[in-house]
Amino acid sequence: MDAAFWHERWHNRQIGFHQTQVNPLLQRHWPRLQLDGQGQIWVPLCGKSVDMLYLAELGYHVLGCELSELAVREFFSDNQLTFSAICHDQHQVFRCEQIELWQGDYFTFPLELSRRCVAFYDRAAMIAMPSDMRQAYAMQLAQSVSAGTQGLLITLDYPQAMLDGPPFAVSQDWLHQSVSPYFDIELLESCDVLADNPKFLKKQVPRLTENAYLLTRRGA
C-alpha cells in the first residue's frame, strides 16, 4: 500500500471510508477530553473529513495532514471555503481561517507543528493500514504529540480473515500490544455497526464494531 494506491483510490472515487455526516462517536465523546474550545487539533491522514468542520465550529483550529491533493482541494470546494496555498519543502499547505491542511507524506510532516496541538483526532487513519504499516503510524503519532496530550481514536474491529482491508480491523488486543507503550488507552464505547455496512453483510462478516478510545500520551 504505497502512495500510488491511495492516489488511485481517490482518483477512482473508491472512498467508502469518507462520511458525509459528522461521526456520532466524535460528537458524544469529544467532551471527555475536557478542553476549553481553544487551541489546535491535530488530525493525521484527514482526507476531506467533515469532522474537521465540526471541530472548527467548536472553536478549535485544525491542523491536518493528507497525502491526496485531490482530497484536500475537494475539502475546501465541497464546503465552499476560500483558501490560500503555498509550498513548504515536501508539502503544499492549504489554509483558511481555522483550518490548515498539509498535503503530502504523513511521515515527513514537521512534528514541531503537531507537538503544539492541544489534542488529536483519528477516525480513519489507523484503520487505513495493515498491521505492519499501522505500527509505524502509531510510532509516528506518538512522536507527533507532547507528553500528556489526549486524543480520540475511532476504529473498526471484525474478523480480518473474512475481508481484505482497507478498512482494516484494529482489535483491542492489537492496541494494547502495539500502542500502549506510547499511550494510556481507555475504551469509551463499542457499537455494533454491522447492519449499517452492506459491504460487510455481503461478505457475511459475522460482526463489525466501531470503537471509540481515549488515548493519553505517556510521559518520556
Whole-number pLDDT of residue 131? 87
Q: What is the CATH number of the domain that holds 51?
A: 3.40.50.150
Peptide bond connecting 130 to the previous residue in cis, omega within 30 degrees of 0: no
Percent over 90 (pLDDT), the chain: 79
Whole-number pLDDT of residue 194? 94
DSSP readout, the chain?
--HHHHHHHHHTT--TT--SS--HHHHHHGGGG---S-SEEEEET-TT-THHHHHHHTT-EEEEEES-HHHHHHHHHHTT---EEEEETTEEEEE-SSEEEEES-GGGS-HHHHTT-SEEEESSSGGGS-HHHHHHHHHHHHHTS-TT-EEEEEEEE--GGGS--SSPP--HHHHHHHTTTTEEEEEEEEEE-GGG-HHHHHTT-S--EEEEEEEEEPP-
The pTM is what?
0.93
Tell me how far apart the alpha carbons of residues 75 and 47 are, in angstroms, rounded to a whole number: 8
Higher pLDDT: 106 or 8? It is 106
Q: In the predicted model, is pLDDT for residue 11 greater than 70?
A: no
Whole-number pLDDT of residue 59? 96
Assigned C-alpha cell, 101: 491542511
Total number of domains in the chain: 1
Q: Taking a C-beta distance cutoff of 8 angstroms, is the pair 204, 191 a contact? A: no
Whole-number pLDDT of residue 6? 55
In which band, very low, low, confident or very high, does the pLDDT at 90 lie, cut at 50, 70 and 90? confident
Tell me how far apart the alpha carbons of residues 95 and 99 are, in angstroms, rounded to a whole number: 6
Higher pLDDT: 121 or 129? It is 121
Domain hosting 56: range is 3-14+23-217
Whole-number pLDDT of residue 89? 86
Q: Taking a C-beta distance cutoff of 8 angstroms, is the pair 155, 210 a contact? A: yes
Q: Please say whether the dihedral angle defined by the alpha carbons of residues 44, 28, 61 and 112, taken in this order, is positive or negative.
A: negative
Q: In the predicted model, is pLDDT for residue 158 greater than 90?
A: yes
Helices 69-78 and 3-11 pack at an angle, to 10 degrees, of 40
Tell me how far apart the alpha carbons of residues 64 and 186 are, in angstroms, rounded to a whole number: 24
In which band, very low, low, confident or very high, does the pLDDT at 10 lie, cut at 50, 70 and 90? low
Q: In the predicted model, is pLDDT for residue 85 greater than 90?
A: yes
Neighbours of 134 (CB within 10 A): 20
- What tens digit of pLDDT does each residue of 19-66 get? 779 999 999 999 999 998 899 999 999 999 999 999 999 999 999 999
